[in-house]
Amino acid sequence: MRTRNLIKSYLLFAFIVMFTIQAYSQHKSLLKEGTWLGVITRADSNKIQFNFTSSSLTGKQVVNIINGDENLLVDDIAKVDDSILLTLPFFNASLLVKAVSPNHLQGYYIKKQNDKSSRIPFDAYWGVRERFPNAIKGKYSANGTWDVEFIGRNNTINKAVGSFVQNKQGKVTGSFLTPTGDYRFLEGIVSGDTLKLSGFDGGFASYFEAKFINDSTIIDGKYFSGATATTLWTAQKNDTIQLPDEYGYSKIRVGEEGKLNFKFKDTDGKLVSISDDRYKNKVVIVQILGSWCPNCMDETSFLSKFYNENKNRGIEIIGLAYERTEDFEQSKKLLAIYQKRFNVKYPFLITGVTPSDPQRVEKTLPQIDKIAAFPTSIFVDKKGLVRKIHTGYDGPGTGKFYEKFKTEFNELINQLLSEQ
């Protein structure tokens, strides 16, 4: 009997080992581990390039998309028929690819919005560590701050600020800032007299190219975004350039006393109001966001960490979500990704109002005159009065501007906490 039991135990053990090896082998074969160059090819033949790595994390295959100092973790990777589906963590986007060879993937970058879906051809090449291969030594430097003009429809000029750091090898990192937010982490090079920058996170798929005529002037700039958009731009070096006051775009409506009054369901279906006892005699930040918004991701990361470290000081945060769907369950599903990834312990409330709704302010925050951008942060003092409204977000890709934002943010919070 004992021998029979030992045989059964051995066979069971052998089966488990064989199953594990087979599962690991199948898992490992999805993507070759190492560094890849991803290439999104638009219909106009312009390419948006970025690097990513494939590796194993706690026995599970993962991908990290690299943009400057950011490594965006993609841990939802699955085999779908004869293809591999990489579901990006945010923005309802994915990469669907087939292995043409062990070193070459081919497929599509897919982005969904409501009932529409765009598919742009995508290739990836294993072992290519350079974002822009075959570059030559740069003649100029992008290092510093730039006064940028993007040329819009009907030749309208949209001002921006470029903030970049260039190392000795010619690698450039940084971002463009606008009054409504930044272009997140960009990475590239100066090759000869040409500046090349790109960024990809699923929400943004961007490529910037321009020519230097000297170390202080950039001309013939082109900005390629997503599947079709193209914008011209130029820039002048200006280390003192600043954005307009980001606290000046939105304000309390004339005739209002300065108190907000809203009540919406959180992601658990519970009604939450800013008038609840939880928020009385507290400094409250009302975060206006959407899961579709790349800058909201950066702000959520910052606010979540800040809240978890400072909530005992008498601070509360409420997220007001404006999703591209009015469906509660779908909105809840999209926001849950943010809450899990950034360890969000403050509530997200689902307004049920889309960001494109022309009555979005009247339906949700009628006490203020407008929501000029996503994200926007409303600072409420202990008496429940709106003290400041900050439009946009200068994220970690913006270098010194991000440091400036953090300093101003902490100074404002400390001031409000010190008041009786």
Query: For residues 265 and 351, is the Cβ–Cβ distance under 8 A?
Result: no
Instruction: Give residue 101's pLDDT.
Output: 94
What does pLDDT average to over the chain? 92
pLDDT digits (tens, 9 = 90+) for 210-234: 999 999 999 999 999 999 999 999 9
Residues 6+ apart with CB under 8 A from 54: 31, 32, 33, 34, 36, 61, 62, 63
- Bridging pattern class, strands 83-87 and 144-151: unpaired
CA 299 to chain centre: 9
> Pairing relation of β-strands 34-41 and 263-266?
unpaired
Is 4 a residue whose pLDDT tops 70? no
pTM of the predicted model as reported, rounded to 2 decimal places: 0.89
Q: What is the pLDDT of residues 175-213, one digit of tens each?
A: 999 988 999 999 999 999 999 999 999 999 999 999 999
Fold match, 31-126 / 263-418? no
pLDDT tens for 5-64 read 444 444 444 444 344 434 444 445 589 999 999 999 999 999 999 999 999 988 899 999
- Distance, CA of 403 to CA of 395 (rounded, Å): 9
* pLDDT (tens digit per residue) in 60-94: 999 999 999 999 999 999 999 999 999 999 999 99
pLDDT surpassing 70 at residue 2:
no
For 238-274, the pLDDT digits (tens) are: 999 988 889 999 999 988 889 999 999 999 999 999 9
Q: What is the pLDDT of residues 308-352, one digit of tens each?
A: 999 999 999 999 999 999 999 999 999 999 999 999 999 999 999
* End-to-end CA, the chain: 80
CATH superfamily of 263-418: Glutaredoxin (3.40.30.10)
CA dihedral 42, 44, 46, 50 (to 10 degrees): 0
Specify the fold of 31-126: Lipocalin (2.40.128)
Separation CA 413–CA 186 (nearest Å): 30
For the chain, the domains span 31-126, 144-237, 263-418
Q: What CATH topology corresponds to 144-237? A: Lipocalin (2.40.128)
Cα–Cα distance, 26 to 139 (Å, whole number)? 48
For the stretch 92-129, pLDDT in tens is 999 999 999 999 999 999 998 777 889 999 999 999 99
